[in-house]
Amino acid sequence: MIPPVRPITIEDIEQARRRIAATVLRTPLVKLDVGRGSPEIWLKLENLQPTNSYKIRGAANAVAALSDEERARGVWTISAGNAGQGVAYAAREFGIPCTVVAIETAPQTKLDRMRALGATIVPVSYEQAWRAAEAHAFEGLDGTFVHPFDNHDFIAGHATMGLEILEDLPEVCTVIAAIGGGGLITAVGSAVKALRPETTVLGAEPETAAPYALSLREGGPRWLPDWKASFVDGAGGKSVTGRMWERMRPVTDGTITVTLDQTREAMRLIADKSRTIAEGAGALALAAALTGEAGEGPVVCIASGGNIDLAKFTELVAA
């Protein structure tokens, strides 16, 4: 039985911080010099995590919160790459098996890294993966399911970065996070709105896959009829589920849609200014901030991940 949605509390987040302290990094918050006349922008460099993605926060907390009996059954998740790496990493820490129902269009780099962490890969289509995510089940797998975004402990783990942002930059005006399934923005929004409710929390979506923008316009969770795949494989889903709409709506203030060219430029800028690599989804927040729609700042942009093949990264930023 799928548990009902409930708010992520500060107590949940503090418990998560204690659980994952030995596993995750407290990532730096660095100011981005983008020249005079631009917003004051800071980058939360989650691409520096051990798995090069924020997903390790939620995965480590969700697996640690399981009972011994639940862990003994092994764990499985659904992923285009980053959640799978996070759950596989956490499973390896506990010495338990992990299976990833992986979207078959996931970059080879991400598939290779999941396998290197000990995960068994079950390739499926995007539609099959999304149906499994909505049903919280996949035929043939009987381990303990760790949902990659619609999971209370997973979200609470991600929310620990919200605490870090407020501790490092108490005067932050706006926080921007990429939206895929919705777990990241729910997490950060839950922490930020609890402690500094005047701070604006915005999503960032690619123009080819912006279901939250559509859902906000139409007043409820929607499927996107003209979704297109792109190099932004870690964000930009085909829909907002009813459960994630229930989670996201109270702790967010809107979303910004950006072009693929703006995303590529943000990837290049992050590499140039911070000397770190961001994948497409990891650069969405900066692309959104650079539109000016998020205000003058201080704006914190979450560089959510950096798992991209280097040849593909070079091709994109050179275009």
Encode pLDDT of 75-94 as tens digits.
999 988 889 999 999 999 99
- Quote the crossing angle between the two packed helices 55-65 and 82-94, to the nearest 10°: 40
Say whether pLDDT at 319 is over 80.
no
Per CATH, the number for 10-54+153-318 is: 3.40.50.1100
Say whether pLDDT at 305 is over 90.
yes
Tokens for 254, please give them.
């809107």
Tokens for 165, please give them.
């942002």
Domain 56-150, architecture per CATH = 3-Layer(aba) Sandwich (3.40)
CB 84 within 8 A of CB 100: yes
Q: What is the pTM of this model?
A: 0.94
pLDDT 10s digits, 212-266 = 999 999 999 999 999 998 999 889 888 999 999 999 999 999 999 999 999 999 9
CB 235 within 8 A of CB 179: yes
Q: Which of 96-105, 170-179, 181-190 is predicted with the least confidence, judged by mean pLDDT? A: 96-105
Q: How far is CA 51 from the centre of its chain?
A: 13
Alpha helices, H only, the chain:
10-20, 55-65, 68-72, 82-94, 108-116, 126-135, 152-158, 160-168, 183-195, 211-218, 242-248, 260-274, 280-290, 310-318
pLDDT 10s digits, 129-166 = 888 988 889 998 989 999 989 999 999 999 999 999 99
Domain locations in the chain as residue ranges: 10-54+153-318, 56-150
Do 10-54+153-318 and 56-150 share a fold? yes
R_g of the chain computed on alpha carbons: 18
Give the three-state DSSP class for 113: helix
DSSP secondary structure letters along 166-213 = HHH-TT--EEEEE-SSSHHHHHHHHHHHHH-TTSEEEEEEETTS-HHH
